[in-house]
Structures are given as C-alpha cells and as structure tokens.
C-alpha cells in the first residue's frame, strides 16, 4: 500500500475522531488537519512507507525546518501539539505501537506569548487610523476595543450594537460564556464616533453587528488581522504585532500597574487562573531584566 494512501485514510479517520469523539470546534479541526497536512508534506521527501517508520528525529527535523523557514514559536508549538494528538490517536487505534512524540516537550506557554507593546507603541498604533474616513473611524474603534477591553478578535467581530453600554461591553467568549467587560472612556468615545458618523447609515434592525465593512457586511477576523498589521507597519513598530498582541498588552499593562491577577482573569474570560498566571511569568522576566540593568551588583 502506498504511503500516500495510508496517510489519506488515517488523516480522514483522525479528522473524524477529533471532530466527533473529542468534540473539537470546526475551526480547531481545520487547524489540526492543516498542521498535520504540512507535516505529511514534509515527510514526503523521505523514503517512508508507513507511520511506524516516523521517528522523533523526523518530527524534530520538521519543527527545525519550520523554524528555519521563519515560522513563529507559537505556530511551531501548535504544529507539535497537532502531531502529539495525531500519534495519541494512532497508538490508540493500534496503527502504531510506539509514540515518537511522547518525549517531545512543548515549550512553556508563557514563552510563546505575542510580543507585548509598550504604552508608547500602543499610543502610536492607535494614532494611525484616519479620522476623516469611515474605515479609519471604524478601525480606531476596533483598536480601542481590542486594547481597552482586552477582547479576543473573534469577540470584537461578534459585538452587536446592543452589547455596548456606557459602562460595559457584553461579549460571548470561549465555550459561549457571556461576560461583562468594563469599557473605558477612550474606547467608548471611539465607538460613539463610529456609530454617529457612519454606522447609522445601515439598518440596525436588520443588521445588529457593530463593526461593518464599508460594504455593510460584518467585519471578519482576517480583515482585523490585516488591519492591525498594516497600522503597526505604518507606525514603524518592528515587533510581530497581531490583534492578540493588543489583548496581551492589555493584560500585561494591568498587571504592571498593580491589578490583581483574579481581576485580570475575569476581564480576559479565562476559565482557570492557570491561563492568566502566565502573565506573571512575563512580568518576572521584566523584573529580572530591570534588576540586571539597574542594580549596582546584579
């Protein structure tokens, strides 16, 4: 049996397994399938005709190849997680007897956080959208919400005009968990400007989504991702900036200014404090750098 055929059959079974038995979301299933497909494409250059011949060295070679190609640590880690899930499935189905990924440790999550923007960089980024155009006014409001409320990009895209009050944003997070997030005056002013100047042109009874494209359609996460990237480049920010960078900057800046970790957990919508605790790891690294830089006897 050709390797391509074996891979095709196993991948189909694996996809069915993670979507039905594991109950993963369609987006997660798609991401896992895409990551495994990339791994399989890499393996095609080797003379391998079954899964049994895949070794931990080959997995490491694939990850090293990704790193050399310029992929981020977070993307590489995600591919490794997908490979680990795949081999757990293969061993469970007795397609292989040995799991070559079992001893490969994922990097600690806090080491894979997007780069944090400084307060000055946030200010420069927020200043980029033009306040004389519909897209610029809308983009400024989106940026203010991402940083001012720490929303996930998907949460910002799903906001409706009725989710905004004078004090809070109501959003649906992971697992369809509703939460209320305080909204600051800058974000509120940006939303009000967008609503009064441009959003009012569209029928709010038929289309409830808050942020729309210039064609009157709900804006999507890809458009927001490209928008943030574009403004970061325009602001001459050399860091790898994404919408998630805004969320992480929101949390880190709160922590640096004395906010309680439990409060940050609630604001971010984390199910457990363990997810929020990674920010203390980032802060410890900053403390260590400050100590080394400024203490007379570090």
Whether 152 is catalytic: yes
Q: What is the CATH number of domain 119-293?
A: 1.10.443.10
pLDDT in tens, 12-56: 788 887 776 666 778 888 888 889 888 888 887 776 666 778 888
Which tens digits make up the pLDDT trace of 77-90?
888 888 988 898 88
pLDDT at 73: 74
Instruction: Specify whether 270 is catalytic.
Output: yes
- Where exactly are the structural domains of the chain? 3-104, 119-293
Report which secondary-structure segment, H or E, holds 178. strand 178-182
Per-residue pLDDT, 113: 52
Tell me which residues of the chain have a pLDDT lower than 70: 1-8, 20-23, 47-50, 105-114, 174-176, 271-298
Is residue 217 flagged as an active site residue? no
Does 3.40.50.620 match the CATH number of domain 3-104? Answer: no
User: Residue 296: what pLDDT?
Assistant: 55
91 in Cβ contact with 83 (< 8 Å): no
164: three-class secondary structure by DSSP: strand
Residue 43: predicted pLDDT:
81
Options 78, 247, 248, 278, the catalytic residue? 247
- Say whether pTM exceeds 0.75: no
CA–CA dist 87, 213 (Å, integer): 42
**Residue 248 annotated among the catalytic residues of the structure:** no
Per the CB < 8 A criterion, the answer to whether 36 and 11 are in contact is yes
Say if CB 14 and CB 89 are below 8 A apart.
yes
Identify whether 253 is a catalytic site residue.
no
Q: Which of 22, 34, 174, 226 is catalytic?
A: 174
Find how far residue 277's CA is from the centre of its chain: 17
- Which of the residues 78, 152, 199, 248 is marked catalytic? 152
295 is catalytic: no
């Amino acid at each position: 049996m050709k390797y391509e055929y074996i891979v095709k059959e196993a991948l189909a079974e694996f996809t069915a397994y993670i979507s039905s038995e594991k109950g993963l979301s369609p987006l997660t299933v798609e991401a896992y399938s895409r990551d495994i497909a990339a791994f399989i494409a890499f393996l095609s250059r080797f003379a391998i005709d079954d899964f049994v011949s895949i070794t931990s060295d080959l997995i490491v070679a694939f990850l090293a190849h990704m790193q050399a190609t310029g992929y981020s640590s977070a993307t590489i880690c995600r591919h490794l997680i997908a490979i680990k899930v795949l081999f757990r499935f293969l061993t469970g189905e007795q397609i292989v007897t040995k799991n070559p990924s079992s001893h490969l440790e994922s990097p600690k999550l806090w080491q894979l956080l997007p780069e944090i923007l400084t307060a000055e960089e946030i200010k420069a980024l927020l200043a980029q959208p033009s306040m004389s155009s519909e897209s610029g006014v809308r983009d400024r409001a989106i940026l203010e919400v991402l940083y001012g409320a720490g929303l996930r990009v998907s949460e910002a895209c799903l906001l409706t005009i009725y989710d905004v009050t004078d004090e809070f944003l109501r959003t649906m997070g992971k697992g369809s968990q509703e939460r209320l997030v305080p909204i600051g005056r800058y974000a509120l002013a940006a939303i009000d400007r967008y609503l009064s100047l441009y959003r009012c042109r569209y029928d709010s009874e038929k289309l409830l989504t808050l942020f729309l494209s210039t064609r009157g359609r709900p804006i999507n996460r890809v458009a927001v991702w490209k928008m943030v990237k574009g403004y970061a480049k325009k602001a001459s920010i050399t860091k790898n900036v994404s919408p998630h960078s805004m969320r992480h900057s929101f949390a880190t800046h709160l922590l640096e200014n004395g906010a309680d970790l439990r409060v940050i957990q609630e604001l971010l919508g984390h199910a457990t404090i363990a997810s929020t605790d990674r920010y203390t790891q980032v802060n410890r690294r900053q403390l260590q750098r400050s100590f080394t830089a400024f203490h007379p006897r570090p």
